[in-house]
Amino acid sequence: MPDARSAILTRLRAGAPATVTPPDEDFAPVAGIGMGGEERLARLRRAMEAVHTEFLDARGADWVPAIHAWMVAQSLPSLILAPRTEPGRRIAERWPGLGAGPRLIPYDRPLAEWKAALFAENGAGLTATLGGIAATGSLILIPSADEPRTLSLVPPVHIALLEVARIYDTMWQAMREQEWSRAMPTNLLLISGPSKTADIEQTLAYGVHGPKRLLVVLV
């Protein structure tokens, strides 16, 4: 048996290519390779808005008061954030000076210590993103210890910051330009809209397994 196993593994290793590099032209008919920045954004918005994603354009302005004003208008009571991230620190510094509004809740404890309170909150969770994919209308999130995926999965509303300059034609382009091969993420989320599911009668429901609303803040 050891000899047979070694022979099989040897043949597999000999036949496996060293790298897999799909040519960009394979994606061109679907993705529109070579799109300009505004065209990428328009394509991403069309795809995401088709599945009930909402957008807040904060380009050219301070996105912190823009989010504050939007949350006040939506009567959202709280914002859960990652205090050790750059967006979390920026919100914590600016929020108190914006007047009455949603209270800030830092995600600074292990989940087990405040699970009941977290799931009882009827507010929003805020995350950064690594960019967007125009071809599929998706956001790229790589959760970490400082910004756990709970922030994008548990609160009824997920608010995601998206740098317009980091919208890519395809996922392959994002992987290549961000050099994921140097440090592959251990956990990757691709989010295209709020949580939705359907029963056997094909009745669509939002928010059953995650946030019922997704707001993408363009910065």
How far, in Å, CA of 59 to CA of 110, rounded?
Answer: 34
Domain boundaries, the chain: 23-218
Half-sphere exposure for 30 (CA within 13 Å, toward CB): 11
Q: What is the pLDDT of residues 155-191, one digit of tens each?
A: 999 999 999 999 999 999 999 998 888 887 788 899 9
* pTM exceeding the 0.85 threshold for the entire prediction: no
- Which tens digits make up the pLDDT trace of 20-45? 565 554 555 454 556 667 899 999 99
Q: Name the CATH topology of 23-218.
A: Rossmann fold (3.40.50)
Give the Cα separation of 157 and 142 in Å (integer).
18
